């Protein structure tokens, strides 16, 4: 089963953490009993490998997953992302390797009004 998510970055996304929709809980790697986080391994639009720590709140009803700061902010800084830039996250089930994830960082080229991968 494939999933697709696009989001224009907010201030929180570029300085702290990246919130994912709650529907992605069914797509993300399973979280071990007693833990509240898992590691998400992804490739970017250019084939480079990135690892993010995805955590889910331990308390409360709203269990929105977030990519925590350490790996996420390395990605943001490496790509030079700013508020208003866009992230495209895709997943695709693979029966041999498990679910594969791809993340694309995009900036708007105002001259041609198109989103371009960075």
What's 81's domain CATH number?
2.40.330.10
Q: Residue 49 belongs to what domain range? A: 3-28+35-117
Q: What is the pTM of this model?
A: 0.87
Q: In Å, what is the CA distance from 21 to each residue of 18, 49, 70?
A: 10, 22, 20
Residuewise pLDDT in 10s, the chain (118 residues): 578 999 999 999 999 999 998 888 778 776 666 677 888 899 999 999 999 999 887 666 667 889 998 899 999 999 999 999 999 999 887 777 778 899 999 999 999 999 999 9
Q: Is 96 left (phi over 0), alpha (psi -120 to 50) or beta?
A: alpha
Q: How many domains does the chain have?
A: 1
């Amino acid at each position: 089963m494939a999933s697709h998510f696009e989001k224009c970055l907010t201030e929180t996304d570029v300085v702290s953490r990246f919130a994912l929709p709650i529907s992605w809980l069914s797509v993300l790697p399973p979280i071990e009993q007693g833990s509240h986080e898992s590691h998400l391994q992804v490739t970017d639009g250019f084939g480079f490998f990135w690892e993010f720590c995805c955590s889910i709140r331990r308390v409360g009803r709203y269990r929105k997953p977030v990519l925590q700061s350490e790996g996420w902010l390395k990605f943001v800084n490496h790509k030079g992302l700013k508020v208003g830039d866009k992230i495209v996250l895709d997943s695709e089930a693979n029966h041999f390797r498990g679910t594969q994830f791809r993340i694309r960082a995009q900036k708007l080229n105002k001259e041609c009004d198109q989103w371009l991968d960075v």
